[in-house]
Amino acid sequence: MRITAGRVGMTLGVLAVAAGIAWLVMPKPIPVETVAVTKGRFIASVDEDGKTRIRQHYVVAAPLAGRLTRVRLKAGDPVAADEVVAAILPPPAPLLDPRSRREAEERLGTADAALERVKAVVERARAQAEHAKAESDRTRTLAASGASTVQALERAELALRVADRDLRAAEFQNHAAEHERAQAMALLGRYKDGMDAPAEPWSVTAPVSGVVLRVVQESETVVQSGVPLMEVGDPRDLEIVTDVLSTDAVEMRPGAEVVIEHWGGAGVLAGRVRRIEPAAFTKVSTLGVEEQRVNVLIDVLSPPQQWSGLGDGYQVDTRITVFTQDDIKIIPAGALFRRGDGWSVYVAVDGRAQPRTIELVRRSRGSAAIRSGLAQGERVIVYPSDQISPGVRVSWK
């Protein structure tokens, strides 16, 4: 059979069609996202939201019962230590019904009569004392000249001492009667013209220098002893309170580094764990699940000028460091998947996916620390789909 140009062209066409069909039915590489294995410092942290809190709150309370005058201070006003922040006036006298008022008037009349009677007793005692003194002087003169006996002189001196004591007792009775009359007059003082005197206020002072955080009672009213009036604190003395799961709190230690984010200002703030409270409490999550949580107290280490806009009860985000390791291989946590009892990843080698068993140290914030199973620079497939299997062809940018 002769080989002609037509036959050669037909053969080449058939081969081209077969190659095209083979290319169409051949599986295409699956596009994937890969990330190179890096090596460096790995930091594991617990991320929770928290709120700021002034470390020391001082509640200014009424030291005694009375009528509180209107408080002029507002929340945010600065105050100095021992500055007067409120004033309390004595409570007004209770109202008297006609019968009680009549009884009070009669008591005043009784007090007046008793005072006059005691005055008469005082005058009588004074006269007796003067007479006893004169008698004592005469007896002493006669005894000196021998015209009177010693016994008579002793009786005269005794009578003088007794008269002096009686005069002093009468004067004390007069003093008590004056006070009783004053009490009766005070009870009726509000009904007498010219008896009301201006009340002297009791000044309530600030315990420390700072700002007014909250005014509990602003309007003028009658208050009882111990009623809170306002809260005072120093906004420069801030701390952060973050509640974490009790399982996370076990790993935390005082002195751990904290990164404070999303606090409203530029950049991040540095902090440090000061205390992990020993007692947990139950809190219901947004999903309705009861959780045991623990309060962690954090000190802000950044200069106060940097976070001067923060106040009491402001929301912040915290990253509390619980684990660090240097010079360790790091990959995205999305590359991990379970295979059997261990962890594995897919490595892109020569355009194909190859499974690789690795030894996982820890995961945190979307990253994972690997002790063995991967080499630095190898590319792992991130978020492998169910289309990825051992040996499948893959492509990436």
In this predicted model, what pLDDT tens digit does every residue of 382-392 receive, in sequence order?
998 888 888 88
pLDDT single digits (tens) 64-79: 888 999 999 999 899 9
Sign of CA dihedral 311, 312, 315, 317: positive
**Shortest CA distance to 45 belongs to which of 240, 244, 287, 239?**
244
Between strands 257-261 and 238-245, the pairing is unpaired
CB 228 within 8 A of CB 216: yes
Residues 320 and 303: beta-carbon distance below 8 Å? no
Position 51 scores a pLDDT of 94
Report the sign of the C-alpha dihedral through residues 278, 284, 285, 291, in that order: positive
Percent of the chain with pLDDT over 70: 89
Closest CA to 243 of 182, 285, 271: 285
281: β partners? 293
Enter the pTM of the model.
Answer: 0.63
298's CB contacts (< 8 A; 6+ apart) are 50, 239, 240, 241, 242, 258, 260, 271, 272, 273, 274, 318, 320
Phi then psi for 158, rounded to 5 degrees?
-60, -45
Residues 276 and 274: their CA atoms lie apart, in Å, by 7
Band (3; pLDDT cuts 50, 70, 90): low
- Orientation angle between helical segments 98-145 and 150-187, nearest 10 degrees: 160
Q: What is the pLDDT of residue 195?
A: 46
- What's the rounded mean pLDDT across residues 50-74? 91
**Would the pLDDT of 13 be above 70?**
no
Taking the CA of residue 275 as centre, how many other CA atoms within 13 Å lie in the half-sphere pointing to its CB?
9
In angstroms, the CA 336 to CA 348 distance is 14
Count Cβ atoms below 10 Å from residue 334 Cβ, excluding itself. Answer: 17
Chain-wide mean pLDDT for the chain? 85
Spatial distance between the Cα atoms of 84 and 202, rounded to a whole number of angstroms? 10
pLDDT digits (tens, 9 = 90+) for 148-173: 777 877 787 788 788 888 888 888 88
**Segment (H or E) for 88:** strand 84-89
